[in-house]
Amino acid sequence: MTAPIFILAGEASGDVLASRMMRAVHQHYGQQQWIGLGGPHMAAEGLRSVGDMSRLSLIGVGAAIQHYRQLSAFADELVDLALQQRPKLILTVDAKGFSVRFAARLRRQMQRHGWSAPIIHTVAPTVWAWGKWRRHKFARAFDGLFCLFPFEPDYFAPLGLESHFIGHPAAFDIQAQKPKSPSGSRSSGSRSSGTASFAPRIALLPGSRNSEINQILPVMVGAVGKLRRNFPNAVVTLPAVPKYHHMISALCAEQPIEIVDGDQHLAEVLADCDAVIAASGTVTLEAALFGAPGVACYKASWLSATLGRMIVDMQKVILPNAILGREVYPFLFQENLTAAHLAEAVSRTLNDPQAKMKAYHTAMELRSCLVREADGFDQLVAAALGNWLLPKASA
């Protein structure tokens, strides 16, 4: 029986990315058996998951410290699984803190049992934003590293870690539509005739974790209330993670906000909105690639925020800002994240008749950086795996 491939992802975005990688392997190296940890997208590609990936969906340094024992025990469980199944390749996707701990433990157990398999991690740690020292830990734990941003391999290759830029799947999938008028998809007259007659479309993106939603969404809802004083006809939409739909509905009860399935409707919401209010994370890059102007924000526990301020370069927290080296989205963090500040930032966007056109040009610039000359994400993934997986037999 052919040895399986072990793959691990710990959150919704990792589930989607890992499923894309699984699909690339199937297309270029034939059907495989997959074991490990993941979500519904990975299951659709054939993963036999041994647990609920939400066990890894913690946010912030403080939460990771608080749940250290549980995460440590879970890492040991997955190491035991790998030792039992003897996969030919181990892939970890995002969930960086957990993944490097798991990989280091697995490598030690491999040596003890006289068995080895390559361990590859996808989504490099953001050493360009904080904790440059972390690259050494990754170089020791992994045999390969797949990077989503073109400047990242240079941080790791000098340490002997085989590093490949594989592009960002969103950049291949998203093509921003050029606005039909300088003021965006709505007519310029709707703005010039006064804010009361303007019906802007605003997208709320409060994050995909329980803790993020509880911390950030109430502030977003408060901002919507303030925005409606000047934009009474605003249409506000929130693409939600389905499992949090009920909780989100309760938090939005004070305002008329349309809640839709994020898996099905996120793209159309971002493509058509006049402004986005987005929690810091991968979704800020997606929003920018769609050409959505707006503001980014974040709020965490006191401990996570305090530790974050000590070690994080806040100028590089928002992905589009970091990639292009300038402010694409203004960033409101912690005590600066108030309903009044959010409403003010969004109002500036809605009152700027060039906002959509500027965002469109930013989207084109981002896409060029993240795609380069490649034809597709799947091809880059397959090429990066070439040293560890045998190619299909040629006809």
* Structure confidence by residue, pLDDT tens digits, 300-330: 877 777 777 766 777 778 999 999 999 999 9
- Examine residue 393 and state whether it is found in any structural domain, yes or no: no
Taking residues 154-161, what's their average pLDDT?
94
Do residues 91 and 182 both lie within one domain? no
What average pLDDT does this structure show over 96-107? 94
The predicted structure's pLDDT at residue 211 = 84
> What was the pLDDT predicted at 390?
64
- Structural domain contains residue 161: yes
Please, which pLDDT band fits residue 395 given cuts at 50, 70 and 90? very low
pLDDT bin (cut points 50, 70, 90) of residue 181 is low
Domain-embedded: residue 394: no
Give the range among 182-191, 249-258, 271-280 with minimum mean pLDDT. Answer: 182-191
Separation CA 352–CA 129 (nearest Å): 30
pLDDT-based confidence at residue 392 (cuts at 50, 70, 90): very low
Same domain, 64 and 146: yes
Characterize the bridge pairing of strands 331-333 and 275-279: unpaired
CA dihedral 162, 165, 169, 174 (to 10 degrees): 180
Q: What is the mean pLDDT of the chain?
A: 88
Domain-embedded: residue 314 = yes
Residues 190 and 302 in one domain: yes
Please check whether residues 28 and 78 belong to one and the same domain.
Answer: yes
Let me know if residue 244 belongs to a domain: yes
Residue 395 lies in a domain: no
**377 lies in which domain range?**
5-167+372-387
Residues 141 and 162 in one domain: yes
Question: Is the domain of 376 the same as that of 366?
Answer: no
How many CB atoms within 10 Å of residue 228? 16
Domain harbouring 42, CATH code: 3.40.50.2000
C-alpha span between 382 and 389 (Å, rounded): 9
DSSP symbols for 317-349 = SSHHHHHHTS-SS-EEEGGG--HHHHHHHHHHH
Residue 311, pLDDT score? 67
Domain co-membership, 25 together with 90: yes
Whether 186 and 106 share a structural domain? no
- pLDDT above 70 as % of the chain: 90
Q: Report the percent of the chain where pLDDT is more than 90.
A: 66
Residue ranges with strand state E in the chain: 5-9, 34-37, 47-49, 89-93, 119-122, 144-147, 162-165, 201-205, 235-240, 258-261, 275-279, 294-298, 331-333
In this structure, the answer to whether residues 365 and 376 fall within a common structural domain is no
Return the CA Rg of the chain.
Answer: 22
**Host H or E run for residue 304:** helix 302-311
Query: Is pLDDT larger for residue 336 or for residue 301?
Result: 336
Residue 186, SS3 per DSSP: coil
Do residues 147 and 224 share a domain?
no
Residue type, 351: N
Q: Is residue 339 part of a domain?
A: yes
Give the range among 19-28, 88-97, 205-214, 358-367 with minimum mean pLDDT. 205-214
Classify residue 392: in a domain, yes or no: no
Range of lowest pLDDT (27-36, 106-115, 123-132): 123-132
CA separation for the pair 274, 167 (Å, rounded) = 27
At 42-87, the pLDDT tens digits run 999 999 999 887 767 554 444 555 566 777 888 899 999 999 999 9
Specify the number of domains making up the chain: 2
Residue 376 and residue 349 in one domain: no
Answer yes or no: is pLDDT of 27 > 60.
Answer: yes
- Please check whether residues 254 and 381 belong to one and the same domain: no
